[in-house]
Chain A
Amino acid sequence: DVKVTQSSRYLVKRTGEKVFLECVQDMDHENMFWYRQDPGLGLRLIYFSYDVKMKEKGDIPEGYSVSREKKERFSLILESASTNQTSMYLCASTQTGTGEVETQYFGPGTRLLVL
């Protein structure tokens, strides 16, 4: 079974703090994604990565950055946390298909509260 793990289930941070959310997958997947999930808004893509050291902006990248130094690990960074970044953060991974859209496998999520 594919396993996607996220470093924390719950985090409480102060406004202005730098926050690191870590995601690790164990299936040698090329592609990794960070989403935020908010009630009534669904899942919105923040950043994604097709390979090590490669990253592309999603739909809502403002206030976030990412790092992918190893294939299995994809980090989301909040440079200076703000209260409007209070949310559930979900990481996902997928292999690169041969022209097909592959299943995205999600981690359990990190619920971040910024005070």
Chain B
Amino acid sequence: QQQVKQSPQSLIVQKGGISIINCAYENTAFDYFPWYQQFPGKGPALLIAIRPDVSEKKEGRFTISFNKSAKQFSLHIMDSQPGDSATYFCAASPGFQKLVFGTGTRLLVSP
């Protein structure tokens, strides 16, 4: 019930393409859904986050789509760039400042 399932495990996208990473959860008590981005040798950093009362949030080239009834959410990266190459983690919060993380997606954007 505390799991967040993330797919795909790895993704290769051409420069300028759209990268899509999907996550699913079971626990309806989750109330906050962030995405973290991690570059090699660095810790993860918050990229974008959404609450379940909205279906979409956009920040620049990054968009979260949220489907509450399906218990799914996804990250879309428009016009993907080589600098976006990183590992992306979805997460969900059961409260008390805790996060449950997905298993991660390694994105490679080819020039």
A contacts, CB < 8 Å to B: 4, 31, 33, 35, 40-45, 48, 50, 59, 90, 92, 94, 96-97, 101-109
On chain A, the residues within 8 Å of B95 by CB distance are 101
* Given the contacts A43-B89, A103-B46, A106-B43, A96 and B98 also touching, CB distance less than 8 Å: no
Contact A4 B43 (CB under 8 A): yes
On chain A, the residues within 8 Å of B97 by CB distance are 31, 50, 94, 96-97, 101-102, 104
B contacts, CB < 8 Å to A: 2, 6, 9, 31-32, 34, 36, 41-46, 49, 89, 93, 95-104
Using CB atoms, name the residue of chain B closest to A111.
Answer: B41
On chain B, the residues within 8 Å of A104 by CB distance are 36, 44, 46, 97, 99
